[in-house]
Amino acid sequence: MSINMKHVWIVFKKELKDAFRDRKALLVGIVLPMIFIPVIFIISSLAAKSAYEVKPQKTPIVVIGKEYSKTLTSIIEKSEFQIVDSKNPKKDLQDGNVKAVLIIPEDFEKLILQEKQAQVQILTNEADMKSSNVGSILSEIINNLSKEITKSRLIKKNLDPSIIEPIVIKKENVAPPQKQSATFLSFLLPMFLTLWVAVGGMNAAIDITAGEKERGTLEPLLTTAATRASLVTGKYLAVSFMALLAGLSSLVGVIVSFIALPRALGSALQNSPILDYKVSPLTVFIMLIVVTLTAIIFAAIEVAIASYARSFKEGQTYLSPVSIVVVIPPYLTMYKMPNELTDTYFVLPLVNAISILKELIYDIINLQHLALFVVSSLVYIAISISFASKMFENEKVLFRS
């Protein structure tokens, strides 16, 4: 069936006018993505900072048996941890009222003086990140004391302290701050970008298909001179445009989050794991390509599914699972580093967009993967448009009662 571009343009303008008249849909599809990502950025930054950061002077711990070792107790007190009393330390630890419990045995000092091995016990709540971090800090403090005691014992015996430490491990973290931040963001950002692209065109897709059926305006439209191919192309382009606007809106949110917010909230986000993250203009441009191709695929799928629905409400029911399906692929790549993503990831539908976005967040531009993504996306676009056209041309589907 032939396509008349004049008719396509008329249908496209008409559907866009209808879409822009729906202010609630514009708020959800365009304004909200622009605000949502910066808000998530701030909340994630503050939440991550709060979860990992331990301020000793504000962190309560319980020390049982303080009287059994003045030396160790004095070191703990100098660390500025807030030592509190507790009638039931284990329960207080489980309830989060204290972050660690240090138990010093009665014979601690006696064993140290006899140059024997003494044991201390540290209780932590591993379900609480701060408790785990406090446990690590206390372990380090006690290990340092242990080394000092060993050193003094060896010196007393005229032995070189280094003989008990034949190998010294020097660990160095070579990951730039940008890469460490990317690990945190590579799960959230691809999911939000693709989610808003999917949701952005959904309302328009339902309104111009199932909505028109419900209002009784579809049949008169089909009796006009415009062919069905022209009608479905115009409607499809309008849905793609709305999905693309939602994608661009979320991209603006990304740019605001990583350029404007760190400058505006620098002190508030200090020590946040994602404060040092930056995106380059080239990365943003490739993200734009990814968002555009993904928007086109979703638009065709949503037009096809919504065409089957008999009413606006039924269309919402059919398309609701789409927004759930979108959040699944990020879990497939969640524990994968970019160098672990094989070529297969860049040809699977939707997973390819998530994988490319993950690489871009790590500031990796792999031309082979980019080509696989573009080619596979074009194939999916052709399949989804063909599917949408067949659904729109099938009268049994279009006028089912």
In angstroms, the CA 254 to CA 188 distance is 11
The predicted structure's pLDDT at residue 374: 92
In angstroms, the CA 213 to CA 355 distance is 38
The predicted structure's pLDDT at residue 372: 94
DSSP string of 4-32?
A: -HHHHHHHHHHHHHHHHH-HHHHIIIIIH
pLDDT tens, residue order, the chain (401 aa): 577 788 888 888 888 888 888 777 777 777 887 887 778 777 766 666 666 666 666 788 999 998 998 888 888 888 878 889 988 999 999 998 898 999 999 999 889 888 888 999 999 998 887 888 888 889 999 999 998 998 888 888 888 888 877 787 887 766 666 666 666 677 777 888 888 888 888 888 888 888 888 887 877 777 787 787 888 888 888 988 888 888 888 888 877 776 666 666 665 555 555 566 667 788 888 888 898 888 888 888 888 888 888 888 888 888 888 888 888 888 888 778 888 888 999 999 888 988 998 888 888 889 999 999 999 999 988 888 888 788 777 777 666 65
Identify the residue whose tokens are 């606006």: 312
- With CA atoms as reference, report the closest residue to 124 among 151, 154, 95, 99: 99
What the block records as the tokens of 367 is 């031309």
- With CA atoms as reference, report the closest residue to 28 among 350, 376, 323: 323
* Angle, alpha carbons 78-83-88 (nearest 5°): 155
In angstroms, the CA 165 to CA 17 distance is 76
pTM, rounded to two decimals = 0.69
**Segment holding 142, helix H or strand E:** helix 129-156
Residue 283, Cα to own-chain centre: how many angstroms? 18
- With CA atoms as reference, report the closest residue to 129 among 161, 96, 155: 96
The predicted structure's pLDDT at residue 121: 93
What the block records as the tokens of 83 is 């030592």
| Torsion (CA) 15, 21, 24, 26 in degrees, nearest 10 | 60
The predicted structure's pLDDT at residue 190: 83
